[in-house]
Amino acid sequence: MAPAAASQHQATTVAPTSGRKVVDEVSGWLRVMDDGSIDRTWTGPPQALPLMQPVQPYAVPRDGHTLHDLPGEPNLRVYLPEVDAGSVGRLPVIVQLHGGGFCISHPSWVLYHHFYARLACAVPAVVVTAELPLAPEQRLPAQIYTGVDVLRRLRSIAMSDEGSLDDPAAELLREAADISRVFLVGDSSGGNLVHLVAARVGEDGADAWAPLRVAGGIPIHPGFVRATRSKSELQPTPDSVFFTLDMLDKFLAMALPKGATKDHPYTCPMGPNVPPLESVPLPPMLVAVAEKDLIRDTNLEYCDALRAAGKEVEVLINRGMSHSFYLNKFAVDMDPTTGERAQELIDAIKSFVARHL
């Protein structure tokens, strides 16, 4: 982890002391103390802890790619696949916006690393992940602003003169990235950011961002919900480390603007409190929906709303899978069905990118 990334980790993880009391807890992920501080020490099943360990960057290739950290505003992490630049040329860019209900998670964790390293090599594409601010310390729209800032920093690096960048990793990114082919990918709440950031960029107009172009958006199991429970939320499902109703309710209460409900535009872009989707400038979208996701129904409602608004949208149903299944490295490696579904997701993203260049 880059020093800047480590410093935020320390700033947002408060070691509990005997002088503080827990006033609220979210499914092992987060505790709110009576003095208002936040403790993100994992208290859930210990077997899940390895998925949250940070992966250090490496400039020597591993499994067909290198991994670089770019400290700055915001902190970036870059996966560069090994390709023959002479025959392939510059690569499309996948910008990953991580999940965690806007309240937890870090892009250096194993659970993201194993999937996005694999995706970078499969497409192939430059994958840029970003460290997002966390609620409740920083509520929405802070995460949206940071998502837009990721694109600004990417554009600035790509447009820099050869040899003008102090960081060797930034120079590698400048040489490899084709910013006219940027795809936003988001996991869970990061899927909300795909929609929200793409809309902000679209509202600015192509000229404001040229030569950067958002060619597509890929929300994976986005956190789109309504204030009233959907049918899929009410269905009994096995407990999941990645997603529970407790996490859904409490994280969004901490992340949305104070006083807002889940019908807020940040979490319900297909609801009555937003401008008609017909007026929202969005790129082509590939939406992944897990068949056993608690919020499957509202994910599908979002897809239907995009279609009804005349937007270009493809839907991939992850059969038999639950929320963020592909991030569980243990299940992907050891369970044949989960591994197959993860490969289907990678293949679908690869195909979508190839068809929207």
Q: Look at the block and give the residue holding tokens 């008609």.
A: 276
322 catalytically annotated: no
Query: Exactly one of 105, 188, 322, 324 is catalytic; which is it?
Result: 188
Based on the residue annotation, tell me whether 188 is a catalytic residue of this protein: yes
Distance CA 190, CA 324 (A): 11
CA distance 219 to 231: 21
Q: Are 266 and 140 in contact (CB under 8 A)?
A: yes
**Parallel, antiparallel, or unpaired: how do β-strands 30-33 and 285-290 relate?**
unpaired
The H or E element containing residue 91 is: strand 91-97
Asked whether the beta carbons of 118 and 80 are under 8 A apart, the reply is: no
| Residue from 195, 264, 323, 356 carrying the catalytic annotation | 323
Instruction: Enter the tokens of residue 203.
Output: 């509202």
Burial class (CB in 10 A: 0-12, 13-18, 19+), 27: buried
Strands 91-97 and 126-130: parallel
Segments in 136-244 forming alpha helices (H): 142-158, 168-176, 189-204, 206-209, 231-234
User: What residue has token string 């700033």?
Assistant: 11
What CA–CA distance (Å, rounded) separates 256 from 251? 9
Residue 343: in which H helix or E strand, if any? helix 336-355
Catalytic site includes residue 264 = no
The contacts of residue 42 (CB under 8 Å, 6+ apart) are: 28, 29, 48, 49, 52
As annotated, the active-site residues are 188, 293, 323
